[in-house]
Structure 1
Amino acid sequence: MRIVAEKEKDILEETVPVEEVKETDGAEEMPEESAEKIPEENGEEKAPDGEKDSEGEAPAREKEKKGFRKKSREDKKTDALNEKIGELEDKVKRQLAEFENFRNRTEKEKSAMFEIGAKSVIEKMLPVVDNFERGLSGLSGEEKEAPFASGMQMVYKQLLTELDSLGVKPIEAVGKEFDPNLHNAVMQVESEEYGSGTVAQEMMKGYTYRDSVVRHSMVAVVS
């Protein structure tokens, strides 16, 4: 009986380590289960981080859109201002051109009016010149030496000098080809000295003022 009891005791002692090993093995398996659970828990926690990133990007995009819209509005305002500036510049240029044309027209009209007025005065002075020429040409040799004739000669020369300074020039006639723009033929004559169509005699001297005829020369033309 003692022998049987000792064997049972030995068997019990042998079984104890086995149970401890099993308990130890079970303890070692627990970390594996927890390790498997950790990734799952980490995965579940990462999802909110992704949502937070999306939520953070939305305001940035909205801000970027607002900046783009603001820039577009500023560009439109700039384009409108540039267009307005261009229109004003064109308007100023047109007004300056119109003013320049007006000034040129005014100067031409002013010059034309002055020329008309000057020609009118000159026309009234030419008969005075004619009378001086007739009076001096009718003097004899002795009379030309008289003080009175000398005074007339001085006044006549002074008058011609002043007319010349104003642009009044006598028209050349005798010996020149007849020009209807300068000469007024009042008669035809025969001449051995001049050819046909040439002015042989001048009855009244003609004058020009600034290249325009004030009075045509009255001439006789060779037939």
Structure 2
Amino acid sequence: MGKNDPEKKAKQEAEANTPEKEEKTAAQEPEAETKPSALEEENAQLKDKLLRTLAEYDNFRKRSQKEKESIYPDAVADTVQNFLPVLDNFERAMAFECTDEEFRKGMDLIQKAFNEALTKLGIEEIPALGQAFDPNLHSAVMHVEDENFAENTICEVFQKGYKLGDRVIRFAMVKVAN
């Protein structure tokens, strides 16, 4: 009996522990099921957050690239805008009669060099005289009745206009025929 008693005790303890283990396992199963779904939900949230962050970074990168690309044209336009009054005065001076031919040749060379520099920078003169009036390119400061020109045609240019690509640096100041 001595030998059987420890065996019986072990069997009884094993039987006693078995229902508890089954109860614990049954109690842990729903918890185990909720943990993966909670983890999956958290994983999905983190993936979504990562995708949003990547998209935000990509938009930032594109916006920064556009800003970088616009810095040079903006700087050129601002600089040229400051030089245009000097060019206007130079052209007015060139309109006067000059008796000294050498001086006149020198002034012509300077004007040519200035215009070439503007061309290298991508600056173009806005066509005006004889063109149809375009409020996107021209600023009408006078309207006159002139039968020599069609209606809404520019008949005189007071100040030349310039543009850099599609961007107007200065509108041409013009007189328009009605």
Q: TM-score, normalised by structure 2?
A: 0.69
Q: Are residues 1:91 and 2:36 paired?
A: no
Q: Are residues 1:102 and 2:71 paired?
A: no
d(CA) in 2 for partners of 1:87, 1:135: 72
The one-letter code of the counterpart of 1:170 is E
| Secondary structure in 1 matching 2:88 | helix
Q: CA deviation at 1:116?
A: 4.8
The counterpart of 2:160, out of the listed 205, 209, 212, is 205
| Secondary structure in 1 matching 2:133 | coil
| Secondary structure in 2 matching 1:213 | strand
Identical residues among aligned pairs (%): 39
The one-letter code of the counterpart of 2:57 is F
The counterpart of 2:117, out of the listed 144, 156, 162, is 162
d(CA) in 2 for partners of 1:73, 1:79: 10
Deviation digits for residues 5-55 of structure 1 (CA, Å, limit 9, x no counterpart): xxxxxxxxxxxxxxxxxxxxxxxxxxxxxxxxxxxxxxxxxxxxxxxxxxx
Unaligned runs of 5+ in 1: 1-58
The one-letter code of the counterpart of 1:215 is R
d(CA) in 2 for partners of 1:178, 1:208: 16
Q: CA deviation at 1:76?
A: 3.9
d(CA) in 2 for partners of 1:151, 1:142: 10
- Please say which of residues 79-88 and 113-122 is displaced more in the overlay: 113-122
The one-letter code of the counterpart of 1:187 is M
RCO higher in structure (CA 8 A, sep ≥6): 2
Matches within 5 A, 1:1-223: 74-108=32-66, 116-140=74-98, 143=101, 146=102, 148-223=103-178
Count of residue pairs brought into register by the alignment: 165
Q: Which has the larger radius of gyration?
A: 1
Unaligned runs of 5+ in 2: 1-16
- Please say which of residues 161-170 and 131-140 is displaced more in the overlay: 131-140
Change (3 A) 1:141 1:199: farther
Q: CA deviation at 1:210?
A: 3.4
Q: TM-score, normalised by structure 1?
A: 0.57
Q: CA deviation at 1:209?
A: 2.6
| Secondary structure in 2 matching 1:193 | coil
| Secondary structure in 2 matching 1:195 | coil
More helix by share: 1
